Amino acid sequence: MYSLLVLLLAGAGLVVAVWAFLQWQLTRSAMILFVLLPLAALSIELLITGLGHWFGTGRSFRGLLAIPLLVTQITVPLSLFSLATLCRRASFAWAKIDWGHGAVCILAVLLLIWQLPGALKTTGAQPAAISFVDWLVFVMYLACGLGLWRVQRWPWLLAGMVTGLVLLPLSVANPLPVWLGRLLILSAMAVTMVHFTRLFMVVQTDGPVVAADRSE
């Protein structure tokens, strides 16, 4: 039953990831790409874990599992690039200023450097714990979700972040709550980036490239 639940989560994550990938193919938006990567990695992690019940959990299994765990830990801090761009396009005052937007991008690089040594030691022997970097990134997305709800009337990022963050500390006997929480968080991030990429679609006019803001 446990493996079936894990595979169910994997299937849900893969559906969202494939949909986001198709949207990325249409738009080539970096906003989508930087949140698609950790979502896809988590989905593959869940798929490998669920299949491990039938195929065993030996050294080869741990080797396979280490790859998506590594990708997740590397790409979560990089998702702040998407957050910075989204906040600028959504007309958040701080993000419209170059230093505000740039500060978030610099923070993304610093968090990646901080996270990288631990990520490279990932063995796949057990699910990766939620690191300080992950918590910080998720809290920043929570704040972004609150802003989008107030400014753009988009509640879904906030809803996904709140629900996911409530679930993350509940892992006592098994990691299912953590996996579900991470899946809700990353799915909310992906859906939000797709929505706002399409909402603020960059169009080619006779003049320079401009952003079509349809929020009004």
Dump pLDDT digits (tens) for 150-187: 999 999 999 999 999 999 988 666 789 999 999 999 99
In this prediction the pTM is 0.88
pLDDT at 59: 61
Whether the pLDDT of residue 205 is over 80: the answer is no
Evaluated on CA atoms 135, 137, 140, 142, the torsion sign reads negative
pLDDT at 214: 42
Dump pLDDT digits (tens) for 114-130: 999 888 877 655 555 78
